[in-house]
Chains A and B, each alone.
Chain A
Amino acid sequence: MNGSNIKVKNVNKIFDDFYALNDVNIDIKAGEFYSLLGPSGCGKTTILRMIGGFDEPSDGIIYLDNTNLLELPPNKRPVNTIFQSYALFPHLNVYENIAFPLRLKKYSEQEIKEKVQKNLSLVKLEEHIYKMPSQLSGGQKQRIAIARALVNQPKVLLLDEPLSALDAQLRQHMLLELDSIHDEVGITFIFVTHDQQEALSVSDRIAVMNEGRVLQIGSPFEIYETPADKFVANFIGETNFIKGKVTEVMDKYAKISSENVGDIYVYLDKKVEKGSTVHVTVRPEKIRITKEKPQNLPETFNLFRGKANKLIYKGFQTNFFVDVNEKFTFKVLKQHARYILDEGIINWYEDVYIWWNVDDGFIVEVEQNEG
């Protein structure tokens, strides 16, 4: 294994009085593609800067394998960073940018040439070797930054929102490229982003953060399907939240009565007591929508009648906003397999049925101080 593991232990970072990081614990395995995901200002960059050596924790330790990283200056850490602005040296051409770390280590001209060429071919930019950074496109700069960061053969690569300056299509492309580079070099990637799609599509594991705290750590699947709390559920993808009181607890399911929606059944993944107030989440794509009353429903389901008061056609799918009464609107997502053949087309203001399997609803939060 070429990569190293990183352990962030009980790290706090306080700017003046402000807790930028609050007791952060992260355990990153060697060779993992690990994402830090969270909204702007949640402390992602701060963590990266501390691993890179540009900031010190107010409290706590960071280990790389078994060495205490905090004792090393940034230039002695086997860690390289891809900065959000790429930070290519404007006075050096592509070749010299990539050769920069090698010249510091006093490699011979021959070795430098070989290594630069090897890394340039990794990012597929061999023909731009003598261009200045100002002559490169955003995506090309990005790739040079990757090549430069990898030429030192670091144990860990830190990427701070590396794709945010690129347009949507290029971003998708670079993301796949990053993934294949990760497979090729086999080192640990720590990838910072506030874009949930980016994080979900390439990560082995994701740490979701908000306001300086880590809220949930898990695989993309775990984070999406079983969000740990309301914030995570809302941040990762769209969802419907239903607030209600538990009126009945069975062995696998609970009955919840909501002021807005009525009675629903949910899957019990947390222990709840009768009478407590809970928040339930149901993803829009888990809800089916039909014009006719559905036949052959599963054994356990929630069914509502409503009115499709707004719909957004997106080609491959349609987003419906279905009012079940004056108080509650469900977001429903329908993928089109065979648009006209299979389904009666649902138009604006039509009456519809929506239903979902009880196993697709989860309790994300139990309110503590209410009876």
Chain B
Amino acid sequence: MTVSLWRSSRMKVNYGTKYSLPMLIWLTLLFIVPSAIIIMFSFMEKNQYGGVNPVFSLQAFKDLMNSAYFKILLNTIYIAVMSTIFTLLLALPSAYYMARSKYKSFLMLLIIIPFWTNFLIRVYAWIAVLGNNGFINQFLLKTGLIKDYIGMLYNNNAVILVMVYTYLPYAILPLYAIIEKFDFSLLEAARDLGASKSQSVFRILIPNIKSGIITSLLFTFIPAFGNYAIPQIIGDKNTNMLGTVIARELTTGRNWPLASAISMLLTLVTVIGVLVFTSKQKNIKKVI
């Protein structure tokens, strides 16, 4: 008995390390090393012509204390949170409908089709839709509903709109995957036991697809929070997001330590966000 126990546990350890080795190398090379470089850079002096001087300095963090960056951080959180909320509000009913539809594979294809076009092209396409010479303005002008252009681009709302557009498929797919596995007879059972339609959704469906909802949340919030391209193309140059600031400091600003420090801030907020979402899930299980 003891022998076999000892054996099986030893085997587990051996195979565990062997199997996880590729993963370990992968993570080290592509995640830990770059993160370490960023951390190092943030504690160094900036070089006039870009890059860093290998001298210890806290200047980057002093610069970061500037209230302008705090405002940008708040604006970034605002945009990421709003985008996540709207994306989820659209993704949940869409995924539910897809999972219950007869035409599942066709609808899935519709979700995937946008991926065939480059992401940047699709973002630029929004200029053709929302711009002063875009479809909507032209249509409203021609029909005489408005007399002058409506400026729809280069503000937070436009950024949120395009974020929702971009990340909706990423939010729908995990939700679809879990709703498709959901046993819909549970909803009938809930109705049978006295629940109204909305009660059966909130008390039975939502708790059972919680892990899918959290995945969708993360799939939307993380890329939205660290986004660079969308605010750069669609957003207001004055109320930018952290991603665009990092790019600016790296290029025209020639302040790599500051860019690194902002990157660390961004990663920190993201990690906190992920921890909050996932720990909530654990708490719910504990309470029940």
A90 close to B192 (CB less than 8 A): no
A83 at the interface (CB under 8 A from B): yes
**A181-210 toward B: CB 8 Å interface, digit per residue (1/0)?**
000000000000000000000000000000
Asked if A12 CB lies within 8 Å of chain B CBs, one says no
On whether the beta carbons of A152 and B188 are closer than 8 Å, the reply is: no
Q: Which residues of A contact B191 (CB under 8 A)?
A: 53-54, 73-75
Q: Determine whether the beta carbon of B186 is less than 8 Å from that of A87.
A: yes
B193 lies within 8 A of A80 (CB): yes
Flag if B194 contacts A152 (CB, 8 Å).
yes
Contact of B192 among A80, A85, A92, A93 (CB under 8 A): A80
> Does B288 reach chain A (CB closer than 8 Å)?
yes
Cβ of B183 under 8 Å from chain A? yes
The answer to whether B208 has its CB under 8 Å from any CB of chain A is: yes
Cβ–Cβ contact A100 & B288, under 8 A: no
- Asked whether, in the complex, the Cβ of A104 is within 8 Å of the Cβ of B194, the reply is yes
- Asked whether B189 is an interface residue with its Cβ less than 8 Å from the other chain, the reply is yes
- Report the bound CA distance from A80 to B195 in whole Å: 12
Indicate if B273 sits at the interface (CB-CB under 8 A). Answer: no
Residues of A within 8 A of B199 (CB): 104
Complex contact B189–A83 (CB within 8 A): yes
A93-B288, A100-B190 given; A87·B185 CB < 8 A: yes
* Contact between B194 and A101, CB atoms less than 8 A apart: yes
List, in ascending order, chain A residues with CB within 8 A of B189's CB.
Answer: 81, 83, 87, 89
Looking at chain B's contact residues, the main secondary structure is helix
**A75 close to B288 (CB less than 8 A):** no
Q: Is the Cβ of A101 less than 8 Å from the Cβ of B208?
A: no
User: What's the Cα separation between A101 and B185 when bound, in Å?
Assistant: 16
Interface set, chain B 160-201, CB cutoff 8 A to A? 183, 185-186, 188-196, 199
Pairwise interchain contact B288-A91, C-beta atoms closer than 8 A: yes
Chain B CB within 8 A of A245 CB: no
* Interface assignment of A161: CB less than 8 Å from any CB of chain B: no
A75 in contact with B183 given A54-B188, A83-B189, A93-B288 (CB within 8 Å) = no
Nearest-CB residue, chain B, relative to A84: B185
> A70-99 interface mask toward B, CB cutoff 8 Å, 1 = contact, 0 = none?
000111000111010101011111001000
A25 and B239 alpha carbons, distance in the complex (Å): 72
Chain B proximity of A243: nearest CB distance (Å): 45
Q: Output the least CB separation between A241 and chain B (Å).
A: 40
Q: Which partner residue on chain A sits nearest B284 by CB separation?
A: A91
* B54 is an interface residue with CB less than 8 A from chain A: no
Q: Which residue of B lies closest to A103 (CB)?
A: B203
In the complex, which residues of chain A have a beta carbon less than 8 angstroms from the beta carbon of B195?
Answer: 75, 100, 104
Residues of B within 8 Å of A74, CB to CB, are 188, 191-192
Instruction: Indicate if B204 sits at the interface (CB-CB under 8 A).
Output: yes
- Contact between A96 and B192 (Cβ–Cβ < 8 Å)? no
Given contacts A87-B183, A101-B194, contact A96 B188 (CB under 8 A): no
**How many A residues face the partner with a CB closer than 8 A?**
25
Question: Bound state CA distance, A74 and B191, in angstroms?
Answer: 6
Q: Which of A79, A81, A152 has the most CB of B within 10 A?
A: A81
Contact of A104 among B186, B188, B193, B210 (CB under 8 A): B193
Complex Cα spacing A87 to B288, Å: 18
Residue of A79, A91, A101, A104 with most partner-chain B CB within 10 A? A91
Check if B185 sits within 8 Å of A85, measured CB to CB: yes
Contacts of A100 in B (CB 8 A): 190, 193, 195, 203
Tell me if B223 counts as interface (CB < 8 A to partner A).
Answer: no
| B207 is an interface residue with CB less than 8 A from chain A | yes
Determine which of B185, B190, B288 lies in contact with A96 in the assembled complex, contact meaning CB atoms within 8 Å. Answer: B288
Q: Note all chain A residues with C-beta closer than 8 A to B190.
A: 89, 100
How far is the CB of B204 from the nearest CB of chain A, in Å? Answer: 6
Known: A87-B183, A91-B207. A52 touches B288 (CB 8 A): no
Query: B186 — which chain A residues lie within 8 A by C-beta?
Result: 87, 89-90
Chain B, residue nearest A77 (CB) = B192
Give 1 or 0 for each of A45-81: 1 = CB within 8 Å of chain B CB: 0000000111000000000000000000111000111
The minimal Cβ–Cβ distance linking B62 to chain A, given in whole angstroms, is 49
In whole angstroms, how far apart are the Cα atoms of A1 and B45 in the complex?
A: 88
A155 close to chain B: CB less than 8 A: no
Partner of B196, one of A53, A75, A93: A75
Q: How far is the CA of A70 from the CA of B237 in the complex (A)?
A: 61
Q: Are A92 and B288 in contact (CB under 8 A)?
A: yes
**B211 CB to nearest chain A CB (Å):** 11
Known contacts A85-B183, A104-B199: does B192 contact A52 (CB below 8 Å)? yes
With an 8 A cutoff between CB atoms, is A279 at the interface? no
Q: How far is the CA of A104 from the CA of B194 in the complex (A)?
A: 7
Can you list 10 A-B contacts with CB-CB less than 8 angstroms, sorted by A residue number?
A79-B192, A85-B185, A87-B185, A87-B189, A91-B207, A93-B288, A96-B288, A100-B190, A104-B193, A149-B193
- Residues of B at under 8 Å CB distance from A? 183, 185-186, 188-196, 199, 203-204, 207-208, 210, 288
**9 extra A-B contacts, CB within 8 A, seeds A53-B191, A104-B195, A104-B199:** A52-B188, A54-B188, A73-B191, A74-B192, A75-B192, A75-B194, A79-B192, A87-B186, A91-B207
